[in-house]
Amino acid sequence: MTSSARGRPFLKRNPGRKPGSKNRATVIAAALLEGEAEALVRKAVELAKGGDRQMLKFLLSTLLPRGRLITIDLPRMVSAKDTVEALARITRAVSEGMISPAEAAALAALINSFSNASASQPPSRDLTPRLTDYL
């Protein structure tokens, strides 16, 4: 096989690494750190409290949730037509500073998915989930 060949770099009868298997360096690092996790976290917190900005940034990015819980009043979504009102309310929430543009984009993508799904269903079917659907 040449170096410019793409694809699997081994013979067809060689399946490669088993799914879920770990890299040898990862296994060695895990063995070295076994039993030290609590002490390492304690030291990281001490460094962050002592003014180490990089450690503080690392800890906050690891521990804090990436997104935030937002509350926005959307209409009941029964048909694809309801998406227009929902998108208008999302746009209004962005313009009023209640949600960020990124949060609005995520909501709009969700509403778009609903619209696509409801457009493929018969018009008489109510797609609003009910509590009894999950019991």
pLDDT, tens digit, 9 for 90 and up, residues 104-120: 999 999 998 888 877 67
Q: Are residues 86 and 119 in the same domain?
A: yes
- CA 92/CA 99 separation, integer angstroms: 9
User: Is 8 part of any domain?
Assistant: no
Q: What is the pTM of this model?
A: 0.45
Q: Are residues 56 and 89 in the same domain?
A: no
Residue where one domain finishes, among candidates 35, 63, 91:
63
pLDDT at 135: 41
pLDDT at 98: 92
**CB 126, CB 77: distance < 8 Å:** no
User: Is 13 part of any domain?
Assistant: no
- Radius of gyration (C-alpha) of the chain in whole angstroms: 25
Which residues form the domain of 51? 24-63
User: Is 17 part of any domain?
Assistant: no
- pLDDT < 70: residue spans in the chain: 1-10, 119, 121-135
Beta strands in 24-131 (DSSP E): none
Q: Are residues 123 and 87 in the same domain?
A: yes
What's the total number of domains in the chain?
2
Torsion angle, CA of 56/59/62/64, rounded to 10 degrees?
Answer: -80
- CA 125/CA 103 separation, integer angstroms: 29
User: Is 118 part of any domain?
Assistant: yes
User: Is 71 part of any domain?
Assistant: no
User: Is 56 part of any domain?
Assistant: yes
Handedness of CA 103, 109, 114, 118 (dihedral sign): positive
